Amino acid sequence: QPVKMWSGRFREPLDRTFEQWQRSFPFDWRLLAQEVAASAAHARAIAAAGVLTPEELVHMLAGLTRVGERVLNWSNRISATSGQIDYEVSDAQVGAAIVASAPQAEDIHHFVELELTKEVGGLALKLHTGRSRNEQIATDMRLFVRGAMDLTILDLIEWANALLTLAEQAGEAVMPGFTHLQRAEPVLIAHWLQAYVSMLERDLSRFADARARMNFCPLGSGAIAGATLKLDRTIAAQALGFTAPTANSMDATSDRDFMLDFAQASSTLGVHISRFAEEITLYATNEFAFIELPEAFSTGSSAMPQKKNPDLTELARGKSARLLGASTALSTLVKGLPLAYNKDLQEGQEQIFDIADTLAGLLSVLPNFTRALKFKTANLRIAAETGYLNAMAAATYLSNKGVPFRKAHEIVGNAVRMGLEKGVELNALSLEDLRTLSAAFDADVFDAISLKATLDCHDVTGGTATHQVATALAAARLRISHL
Ligand code: ARG
């Protein structure tokens, strides 16, 4: 067997430095499971076309299975004692072992062919009949991205449920809502938390939507123009769980939209994670003092003994930058490429792996961190009750009494000014004081601007009135349980 998959027309050996530099095996070893599965699907298709006898197919499939298992076992991923995946062995260690074992492998496709030859001898050389690495890498990456999206969806559901549980536990506890980072109106803590659940629900739908759009099988597309064998492409598509074969071979071998979709959905999710992280970081400061950081998810300072730092949320905010960066890198990579396959596309793989790792890492800590958050409800209540956060409720009270809202706004603005001068909240002004500003004020104003009424006047779908929030939480829980 020649050392390269393509050495026939070459007379000179490759420059050593170039050869190492252009290899993708040091990172695309991660596509081992996908490459084995796609190869098995292709074997079924060429067997149906008569290239392999039924016995050869059985032999080939068993060989491919052994390649996958053997490689993983021998890289020590699977514990010899328990048979379970040993998480003490890092991905990097697994990869290093696999890569070191095959210095001659150019990429994962070459590697699997070499390994299969060890398993089934010359029969392995028939596997490449009618296929090209261009369709293989397009298929492997689709399978990888599909798997990463499935994991992300499960992780997001868990985090969304953790946020909903925290919201339910918060009950009717209040906090100030901010606009311009200035206190605006009181809201239920549960309402604030559900804002993030809404973002995650959109993220979930973006991933599900992208998954459905990309779930088509490139196998049978050949190098560019379609397989050189009359293959029944539905065989491979079905074997790999795809909806159907792709429609155009030039598109299928050069399309990376599914990677862009995944990257863009991930970067939007990253934006949401980062906003959440920013709020927690802010609210955990002594200046806000709204949240007690869980010690199990915080770190100290080697220099300042008093510190408890919000490293989790800071890192989460930072990691989102990688997601945005990867998305930009991928769009930039593809945008100038003529059809069809170009080797530039190899550069996209590491961005996708980094996105998948970054998301898996973020979503491995966020649910438990969320469960461990403690609100300083007394401080939150004081912050919600002071600073004239009931001014809009007061204006609404006047408008309910027939004062046009624009006038009511002006009157309550004057009342706020009066309160500021006296150093008291609106509730602490006397009725006589208020009546100097408008005869529409009555004794019932004090009920109308109480904290409870200030919340409950927002009695619309999606508003922070107590019963609306309870209904919204239950509805979100139900929607998510159906995913
Ligand atoms: N390692 C290559 C990649 O990731 C596989 C496809 C190579 N195809 C080719 N014609 N050189 O893109």
pLDDT tens digits for range 102-141:
999 999 999 999 999 999 999 999 999 999 999 999 999 9
Q: Average pLDDT of 329-334?
A: 98
Span from the CA of 145 to the centroid of ligand 1 (angstroms): 17
Ligand 1 atom with the smallest distance to the CA of 109 is 5
pLDDT given at position 140:
98
Question: Is 40 in the same domain as 120?
Answer: yes
Indicate if 109 belongs to the active site: no
In a domain, 145, yes or no: yes
Span from the CA of 121 to the centroid of ligand 1 (angstroms): 24
Indicate if 467 belongs to the active site: no
Structural domain count, the chain:
2
pLDDT given at position 154:
97
Ligand 1 pocket mutation pick from 24, 128, 140, 349 by most atoms within 8 angstroms of CB: 24
In a domain, 390, yes or no: no
In a domain, 454, yes or no: no
Q: Which residue has the tokens 């969320």?
A: 370
Question: Is 294 in the same domain as 331?
Answer: yes
Q: Shortest CA distance to 132 belongs to which of 334, 341, 333?
A: 341
Question: Is 138 in the same domain as 92?
Answer: no
Residue 145 sits in which domain range? Answer: 133-231+243-382
Question: Is 118 in the same domain as 140?
Answer: no
Q: Average pLDDT of 40-61?
A: 98
**Measuring CA to CA, how many Å separate 137 from each of 112, 140, 252, 259, 425?**
13, 5, 11, 12, 66
Span from the CA of 95 to the centroid of ligand 1 (angstroms): 19
**Worst-scoring range by mean pLDDT, 11-20, 251-260, 288-297?**
11-20
Q: Are 47 and 57 in contact (CB under 8 A)?
A: yes
Span from the CA of 382 to the centroid of ligand 1 (angstroms): 62
Q: Are 137 and 109 in contact (CB under 8 A)?
A: yes
In a domain, 368, yes or no: yes
Ligand 1 atom with the smallest distance to the CA of 345 is 12
pLDDT given at position 468:
98
Higher confidence at residue 228 or residue 73? 228
Question: Is 117 in the same domain as 181?
Answer: no
Span from the CA of 433 to the centroid of ligand 1 (angstroms): 80
Catalytic residue among 7, 90, 205, 301: 301
Q: Average pLDDT of 442-452?
A: 97
In a domain, 420, yes or no: no
Higher confidence at residue 370 or residue 9? 370
Whose C-alpha lies nearest to ligand 1, atom 2? Answer: 346
| CATH number of the domain residue 29 falls in | 1.10.275.10
Question: Is 112 in the same domain as 249?
Answer: no
| CATH number of the domain residue 365 falls in | 1.20.200.10
Question: Is 108 in the same domain as 175?
Answer: no
Catalytic residue among 180, 302, 481, 482: 180
**With bands split at pLDDT 50, 70 and 90, how would you rate the model's confidence at 89?**
confident
* Domain end point (choices 357, 382, 407): 382
Question: Is 299 in the same domain as 318?
Answer: yes
Query: Ligand 1 site: residues with CB under 6 angstroms?
Result: 24, 28, 107, 133-134, 137, 341, 343, 345-346, 349
In a domain, 109, yes or no: yes
Mean pLDDT, the chain, rounded, equals 95
Question: Is 119 in the same domain as 158?
Answer: no
Report how far residue 167's alpha carbon sits from residue 155's, in angstroms, rounded to the nearest whole number: 18
Report how far residue 46's alpha carbon sits from residue 44's, in angstroms, rounded to the nearest whole number: 6
* Domain end point (choices 78, 106, 126): 126
Question: Is 140 in the same domain as 194?
Answer: yes
Whose C-alpha lies nearest to ligand 1, atom 12? Answer: 346
Ligand 1 atom with the smallest distance to the CA of 349 is 4
In a domain, 419, yes or no: no
Question: Is 172 in the same domain as 289?
Answer: yes
The 3 state secondary structure assigned to the chain is: CCCCCCHHHCCCCCCHHHHHHHCCHHHHHHHHHHHHHHHHHHHHHHHHCCCCCHHHHHHHHHHHHHHHHHHHHHCCCECCCCCCECCCCCHHHHHHHHHHHCCCCCCHHHHHHHHHHHHHHHHHHHCCCCCCHHHHHHHHHHHHHHHHHHHHHHHHHHHHHHHHHHHHHHCCCEEEEEECCEEEEEEEHHHHHHHHHHHHHHHHHHHHHHHHHHCEECCCCCCCCCCCCCCCHHHHHHHCCCCEECCCHHHHHHCCHHHHHHHHHHHHHHHHHHHHHHHHHHHCCCCCCCEECCHHHCECCCCCCCCCECHHHHHHHHHHHHHHHHHHHHHHHHHCCCCCCCHHHHHHHHHHHHHHHHHHHHHHHHHHHHHHCEECHHHHHHHHHCCCCCHHHHHHHHHHCCCCHHHHHHHHHHHHHHHHHHCCCHHHCCHHHHHHHCCCCCCCHHHHCCHHHHHHCCCCCCCCCHHHHHHHHHHHHHHHHCC
Question: Is 122 in the same domain as 140?
Answer: no
In a domain, 213, yes or no: yes
| pLDDT greater than 80 at residue 293 | yes
Whose C-alpha lies nearest to ligand 1, atom 10? Answer: 134
Q: Tell me whether 0.90 is exceeded by the ipTM.
A: yes
